[in-house]
Structure 1
């Protein structure tokens, strides 16, 4: 006779977490829809912003994916010193604050960057990074590592037996193995990056602007902060939510692709590989494109690191506080949803994928504006929004571990008479430390580098480090901005490392 499903954990934490997610996604969307100026419709300028948003996302995703294919192929075929470190760096694109990535690109491609300085010396026309091509370049810089890592996983998933069979038959590996794998992996990779680029606010804010280079999110920001046109901001936020929902549904559908059949986990051996020169060039160019700008941030940022104004250090402390609160809230919600037996948890946990920081921030702004000055709740609103937006990543890490613990130990805990909190403290938490630390690190790093919600709410007295860095860049104080960027990069990586290392401490797995 089958045992009835049950749970030691109480239901209220899962219900509470679900309510928070629904309020900050569907609730903010409802607030946006209620205030939207539907009668006025979408203006010509708004249609231009929509077209620019979709076109830059399509171009960015296409370039990132196409360029990632030879890089992933070279990494899959070659072994060399530092390969593991390079792949690790490629696996952490989300840890890099977007504003730092933009600043890094400006040190190379900006008006006074390395490239334009060299072009000026030899008498050639200079290059402007601002506009459509600059936005696409920044997105490629930010998403090429992610695309490479996703496609590399597809290459490494091809069983060694397939390569052995291809060598035995003297069959072309590209046609027999690699091209079918790419048909399976590339569409999902393209759509994931397309979704990311749809919701990229900081890149458009710093490198876009103007009538021909304005995204929907940038138009929302301008409508709120400069025009204070709540109706237009709400209408644009509704459009942005619709775009993100459509992209998220496509990602969800395409990601359900069939995997290659498994092998016997043998080490992959490749026969008749060409000389490593071409693969070496590809890997070197990719590493140079990704690491040189960050190296320039370090070089330019170190001299002024300890001479920054006191306001930057206060902004850093606010960022640390917001990131800490965001990580705690995000992991608490992930644990609560992971312990829930409700089948709607997967849907609720995926809702933030269809929202963007600017849409959530706009809805939250509309909800609190009639009752309190939004600047007074800027840090709390930012922490709540960031925790919700990071929830899908944390839940994907934590929920499977909780499900495994429940399957192995829940009935034993009930037999021993463990209460809900004793069950959570003694049984669950010690066994999910690694994914819990990883999820908290992702949430902390994402929140540390956020420039979305805080830009809508904060004034000079509540600014976080990314916002302070953006204002330094706007004032053309590039050396001070580089120092702030170095500090922000260090804090983001440190936040992830501390959380992830804390989850691994004394762990044997």
Structure 2
């Protein structure tokens, strides 16, 4: 009876999320006079954006994965000063605000960036433009290459040290050891990593909107935004939304059936790698791989810091629009992070009861329903909810509520991923003890869950906070002079070519995104020291 009560909040939340998403889509369809599938197939523009969405996602995935394999191999073999810091940076690139990264990339690869100035010194011009497909691929690789590297590195770290000792005893060369020992471990995660990166790139919004470069480089997600925001063509927006949801659902189903999940851990545990034939050529190759990626990932962030420290700091900090955007961003990030964490906790309470009872299929289904946002364009949810509630005029702060709700849903899959394994392991350790001692409800949460899961819980909140404070997709539809966030404020500054002011805002966004992780880490480090 008690176990059934534990499941109720998770079941209710999952049902609410399903109804919430379905209601938004149905509302959008209801406001569309008619839906005809014919134009989707006959219109060359719709065919083009569909093909381009797949094409850029495929190329982004291919580049990220192909580069991540030798990089993870090199990082696995080598120990050097700053490796732990580099891996922490790799773990955070996926949640950095998109526009901050784009600003940094523009500072290096843009028409007025460092490379363009370098070419100008030799009386030449930059041979490529960052706008269009090249820019989209560049940004996607920046986000996903470190992410893929982390996952492949974790797969390599799962190799028992006895196998390394055996390989050294047998005198295996570098290449034979990679093929026979390391590659099988990478291959087990290859499909999962590739599928996840493909989904992230396929539904990319802010990157394509900032660097897309016109109709030739437009994805389905961006076409939905253009149809609803600029043309208020709900019929086309609904049709494209259903089309993208169908494609994403097929991809998610294929991903779930053919791959297994990976637990991304922020910590790094070095393992001694026994190298029998460590030649100078191999050392040079590993050094080259690591150096090139460091030169690719680190400089854009340094550019954001350098460019952000300019004479416009006082001007931006005295602008009332900046402080309004800052206030809205903090409210959205805090509440979105809290609600995402709360929903993830109750849903996982339900799923782990089923897993403890060997009902893994039920647990998989409830977790899959909770991550429905991965296959549903956030623009569709935002617009549908707004259309449903706009008749209620007394909702004066309606856009704020919508953005918080959508951001919480967008952060939920990441919070679930961060908490799933730790919560299950905690239950396996202490479930019988709690039942025998009669520890239930809030007492169990404080004495058992919070004490043991404090770090992953705080990490899940920090991750949700960082994702929400840098999001542009949910605010893109409802932003105006009276309601803005820091990402939208930054986008408007960049669009009006106020690059120095934009640099200041980008720096502040970067500090907020990274600062939440540093702050929580410092606080809990102090508490652990005091407790000891």
Q: Does 1:207 align with 2:211?
A: yes
Deviates more, 1:35-44 or 1:391-400: 35-44
From the superposition, tell whether residues 314 and 232 of structure 1 become closer, same or farther in structure 2 (CA, over 3 Å): same
Post-superposition, which runs of at least 4 consecutive aligned residues in structure 1 deviate over 6 A?
A: none
- The residue number in structure 1 matching 2:12 is 16
Kindly indicate whether the alpha-carbon contact (under 8 Å) linking 1:73 and 1:152 is maintained by their aligned counterparts in 2: yes
- The residue number in structure 1 matching 2:39 is 41
Kindly indicate whether the alpha-carbon contact (under 8 Å) linking 2:171 and 2:276 is maintained by their aligned counterparts in 1: no
Shift of 1:370: 4.6
Separation in 2 of the partners of 1:505 and 1:406?
27
Task: Give per-residue Cα distances to partners, 1:391-443, cap 9 Å, x unaligned.
Answer: 12212322433334444445554555556334334443333211110111111
Separation in 2 of the partners of 1:299 and 1:380?
35
Shift of 1:90: 1.0
- The residue number in structure 2 matching 1:299 is 306
SS of the residue aligned with 2:39? coil
Shift of 1:448: 0.6
Separation in 1 of the partners of 2:432 and 2:169?
51
Kindly indicate whether the alpha-carbon contact (under 8 Å) linking 1:331 and 1:436 is maintained by their aligned counterparts in 2: yes
Deviates more, 1:160-169 or 1:30-39: 30-39
Shift of 1:18: 1.6
Kindly indicate whether the alpha-carbon contact (under 8 Å) linking 1:440 and 1:500 is maintained by their aligned counterparts in 2: no
Separation in 1 of the partners of 2:187 and 2:48?
33
Kindly indicate whether the alpha-carbon contact (under 8 Å) linking 2:220 and 2:244 is maintained by their aligned counterparts in 1: yes
Kindly indicate whether the alpha-carbon contact (under 8 Å) linking 1:375 and 1:462 is maintained by their aligned counterparts in 2: no
- The residue number in structure 1 matching 2:357 is none
Separation in 1 of the partners of 2:132 and 2:453?
45
Shift of 1:189: 1.6
Separation in 2 of the partners of 1:161 and 1:339?
37
Kindly indicate whether the alpha-carbon contact (under 8 Å) linking 2:75 and 2:153 is maintained by their aligned counterparts in 1: yes
Kindly indicate whether the alpha-carbon contact (under 8 Å) linking 2:371 and 2:413 is maintained by their aligned counterparts in 1: yes
Shift of 1:181: 2.9
Shift of 1:266: 7.1
- The residue number in structure 2 matching 1:186 is 190
Shift of 1:333: 0.8
More helix by share: 2
Separation in 2 of the partners of 1:61 and 1:266?
28
- The residue number in structure 2 matching 1:234 is 238
- The residue number in structure 2 matching 1:103 is 103
- The residue number in structure 1 matching 2:266 is none
Q: Does 1:283 align with 2:283?
A: no
Q: Does 1:247 align with 2:257?
A: no
Task: Give per-residue Cα distances to partners, 1:427-485, cap 9 Å, x unaligned.
Answer: 43333211110111111010010000110122121110000000111001111111100
- The residue number in structure 2 matching 1:25 is 21
TM-score, structure 2 normalization? 0.87
Kindly indicate whether the alpha-carbon contact (under 8 Å) linking 1:33 and 1:238 is maintained by their aligned counterparts in 2: no
Structure 2: stretches of 5+ with no match in the other structure: 264-269, 355-361
Kindly indicate whether the alpha-carbon contact (under 8 Å) linking 1:444 and 1:496 is maintained by their aligned counterparts in 2: no
From the superposition, tell whether residues 465 and 330 of structure 1 become closer, same or farther in structure 2 (CA, over 3 Å): same
TM-score, structure 1 normalization? 0.91
Kindly indicate whether the alpha-carbon contact (under 8 Å) linking 2:77 and 2:273 is maintained by their aligned counterparts in 1: no
Separation in 1 of the partners of 2:512 and 2:420?
27
Separation in 1 of the partners of 2:76 and 2:123?
41
- The residue number in structure 2 matching 1:123 is 123
Separation in 2 of the partners of 1:329 and 1:258?
24
Separation in 2 of the partners of 1:442 and 1:364?
25
Kindly indicate whether the alpha-carbon contact (under 8 Å) linking 2:241 and 2:377 is maintained by their aligned counterparts in 1: no
Structure 1: stretches of 5+ with no match in the other structure: 260-264
Task: Give per-residue Cα distances to partners, 1:38-74, cap 9 Å, x unaligned.
Answer: 2253132122111111111101111111111221111
Shift of 1:162: 2.4
Aligned residue-pair number: 500
Matches within 5 A, 1:159-198: 159-171=160-172, 172-198=176-202
SS of the residue aligned with 1:212? helix
Kindly indicate whether the alpha-carbon contact (under 8 Å) linking 1:60 and 1:194 is maintained by their aligned counterparts in 2: yes
Kindly indicate whether the alpha-carbon contact (under 8 Å) linking 2:333 and 2:465 is maintained by their aligned counterparts in 1: yes
- The residue number in structure 2 matching 1:262 is none
Kindly indicate whether the alpha-carbon contact (under 8 Å) linking 1:434 and 1:504 is maintained by their aligned counterparts in 2: no
